[in-house]
Structure 1
Amino acid sequence: MTVKVDHLGPLEQTALLTEYARALDSRAADPILADPLSDEVVSKIDFDFTRLGVTPSVMRLVALRAKMLDERIRRFVLDNPHSTVVDLGAGLNSMIHRVDPPPTVNWYSVDLPAVIDVREALLPEHRCSRVVAASLTEPGWADPIPADRPTMVVADGLVAFLTEPSIIAIVRGAVGHFPEGILAFNDYGPVSRLNRIAGRIATRGANSPHQQWNFAGFKDARYPETWDARLRLAEEASVMHRPETAAFPLSLRLASRLSRRIPSIARKARILQYRY
């Protein structure tokens, strides 16, 4: 049985590219994330993924940032076995299966209703899994989620597609709803119009997520502290500084070496964590 996704809008279809990138990584001889479930999910979708033009560099970057976020969630769950994890813009990401938290953890995957329907049709059940079908840009998206536990709010590949006012509203909604926890997301540093055009060319697909890019990004990792006074920077970690960059294509490998001396390169692919 295959699942059709033609009804998904352009923004909703950005979930397809990241899942396909994770699937391609799982097929590699030297996978970084090694998520075979992503390949199973992709095989069940009636869609020509080659249209997305996922390059080896995009594949590796998506896989490594996912691995880094997984590691941070595992650490949080280990320190807080009775906690809540909230995956914003969850798409088709099988993060919950990779992390595989204990049954004492409540895990909420939040995304638009059409995406949640596809997710529910494709991903296997997990004992900790709950879903919230809602638009993050609408107030009250967090209302169905209990706020009685330490909470880690995670966003993998989400903020680039939102305007800054929308991001601020989402962050304030999360921090205001959950009284104690961590906010973690991947970031691309300052993103110019030239960067966006280069991204469209690199991915080459008509459904390239760069067509949906809305956020100009920021240089200083403390900048999100201005979004809500309760946020405090806890970590800034560059994908480019990881040992797994040895598996990157040559040009990206060279960029990772340069990133040790050129901070602007390191900022182009980073994981940020904030406590509140």
Structure 2
Amino acid sequence: MGNAISDLTPVELTAFVTQYARAVDSRWPKPILGDTLADEIVAKIDYDFDGLGVPASAIRQTALRAKLLDDRARHFIAEHPDAVIVDLGAGLATPMQRVGPPPTVDWYSVDLPNIISLREQVVPVDDHAHSIPASLANDAWTDQIPADRPTFLIADGLLAFVPESLLITLFRHIPEHFRTGELAINDYGRVSPVNIAAMKIVFSAVGNQWIYRGFSDARIPEGWSPRLRLIEETSLSRVPEVDLYPTAARVSTRLMGLTKSGARAARILRYRF
């Protein structure tokens, strides 16, 4: 496994940031996500996760958005017991284990080959879990995924690390390939150059991979494909789970949600096609 780690590129290492955040959340007295499997996976990997410098604020936000995306996946599966779930840029995440879908559901994890190779070493095997080692820049990533079943696609932590041109291509290809379904993502609104520079300092090991500034208007992707329709825009600052935050963080998060720009800084967006 040591060789596998040394072969990872900086963009592939971004998967470690979110994985470690979920792991640390599970150790807290009042976890938001409570994904103990994430901590077990981190323990299997010979890597200096502490050196990533993941702050408590990022841990909370990572855990919260994962919980919200899990909730939406469960709701979709309840409505479509034969669903296909696709995790884009899956990293080492284990939403399938958290959601616990019935055996009628197939779950696909898509990521770059090196990450998928590592994933297959540390993530528990499931007969209905499928790994796709592929770049999202190549439309062939959908070749192995059924197109005729209700499909729920998740992009958790992906948007910051892809150029806008690739994001547009992705948002166009998804409704072209899949007959019907939903795409659920987390985003950060329109990120200023100053904030991106700050991210590069805080996340010194992988921060330079943050390249996309995002968008303020959640309806912008509707212009990328005529089949996409925005059906949800939820600010993380306004959800009940923020009550689990420590007092200072809870107050500052609620205050942030009082303004439009603050509320857009961390969102769950969901599109139907």
- TM-score, structure 2 as length reference: 0.96
Are 1:231 and 2:228 matched, yes or no? yes
Distance 1:142 1:216 in 2: 26
Q: Which among 204, 207, 210 is matched to residue 206 of structure 1? A: 204
Equivalent pair of 1:57/1:249 in contact (CA under 8 Å): no
Query: Any residues of structure 2 matched to 1:113-192 within 5 Å, and which?
Result: 113-192=113-192
Equivalent pair of 2:23/2:39 in contact (CA under 8 Å): yes
**Equivalent position amino acid for 2:222 in 1:** E
Secondary structure of residue in 2 paired with 1:211:
helix
Alignment length (residue pairs): 273
Secondary structure of residue in 2 paired with 1:273:
strand
**Equivalent position amino acid for 1:206 in 2:** S
The 1:45/1:4 distance shift into structure 2, 3 A limit, reads farther
Distance 1:44 1:3 in 2: 14
The match for 1:221 is: 218
Runs of 4+ in 1 over 4 A off after TM superposition: 1-4
Give unpaired runs (5+ residues) of structure 2: none
The 1:251/1:188 distance shift into structure 2, 3 A limit, reads farther
Distance 1:3 1:34 in 2: 30
Equivalent pair of 1:3/1:44 in contact (CA under 8 Å): no
Are 1:273 and 2:270 matched, yes or no? yes
Cα shift at 1:252 = 3.5
- TM-score, structure 1 as length reference: 0.95
Equivalent pair of 2:33/2:63 in contact (CA under 8 Å): yes
Distance 1:47 1:249 in 2: 29
Q: Which one has a larger percent helix, Structure 1 or Structure 2?
A: 2
Deviations 1:110-156 (A, max 9, x none): 00111000000000012320111100011211111111201011100
The match for 1:38 is: 38
The match for 1:264 is: 261
Cα RMSD (Å)? 1.5
Deviates more, 1:177-186 or 1:137-146: 137-146
The match for 1:73 is: 73
Secondary structure of residue in 1 paired with 2:62:
helix
The match for 1:87 is: 87
Equivalent pair of 2:171/2:224 in contact (CA under 8 Å): yes
Equivalent pair of 1:15/1:92 in contact (CA under 8 Å): yes
Identity value in percent:
49
Give unpaired runs (5+ residues) of structure 1: none
Distance 1:196 1:80 in 2: 39
Deviates more, 1:101-110 or 1:137-146: 137-146
**Equivalent position amino acid for 1:132 in 2:** I
Query: Any residues of structure 2 matched to 1:3-82 within 5 Å, and which?
Result: 4-82=4-82
Cα shift at 1:250 = 5.0
